[in-house]
Amino acid sequence: MPKTTGVRLVINPAEKEAVIKEVLSALPEKAERGQSIDDIAAQCRLMPVWADMDGDIVRGFAALKETSPCAAELYAMGVKKEYQRHKIGKALFTAVLNYARRQQYEYLQVKSVRNGIDPEYDSANVFYQSLGFRELEVLPLWGDELPCQVFIRNVNY
C-alpha cells in the first residue's frame, strides 16, 4: 500500500480485501449476521472501497454496493477503535457520497440492527443519522433477535 494520509479509493481487489480484513479483525463485533470477516472482505473485492490511511497505517474503510441503477448501499464500513471519534468515518462517508453523486445515484441505504438491541449498533445508528440517514423500515432479514433497521438517505440532500 502506498504511503498516503487521508481517504483514497482502493483499486486493487487484493488490497481491498487486505484493508477490510485488517480493520474488521480489529472490530470482531462487525462480523455479524452469519458472515465471517473473510466473507465480507471477499464480497467487497468487486465493489468501490475507500481506505483512510495514515502513512502505512489503515485507520478505516467504506465499501459501496450498487443495489439498482438509482441506489447503492453502504455495504460495510469500519474505523478501528483507537481512531473513532476523529472524523474518519465522516471523511470516508464524504468520499462515498461524492462518488454516489458522480454515479448519479438518487439514494443511499445502510442496514444496521434496530436501536435498543446492542449498544455498538445504537452508536452506529446515531452516526448514520448524523450523516443524514433516516429510518425507512425494520425487516426480519437476520432473524427475530437481530431486527434489521434500514436507513435511507437522498444523495442530493
Residue 144's pLDDT band, with cuts at 50, 70 and 90, is confident
C-alpha grid cell, residue 157: 440532500
Indicate which CATH number applies to the domain containing 20.
3.40.630.30
Domain range for 35 is 4-154
Average of per-residue pLDDT values in the chain? 92
Quick: pLDDT tens for 15-65: 999 999 999 999 866 555 567 899 999 999 999 999 999 999 999 999 999
* Cβ neighbours for 145, distance < 8 A, ≥ 6 positions apart: 117
Residue 79's pLDDT band, with cuts at 50, 70 and 90, is very high
C-alpha grid cell, residue 75: 455495504
The yes-or-no verdict on residue 145 having pLDDT over 70 is: yes
- SS3 category, 64: strand
C-alpha grid cell, residue 34: 452469519
Least confident of 9-13, 102-106, 153-157: 153-157
Quick: pLDDT tens for 118-133: 888 899 999 999 999 9
Strands lying side by side in the sheet with 4-10: 4-10, 49-55, 57-68, 71-79, 107-113, 148-154, 134-139
Q: Count the domains in the chain.
A: 1
Residue with cell 445515484: 105
How much is the pLDDT for 1? 47
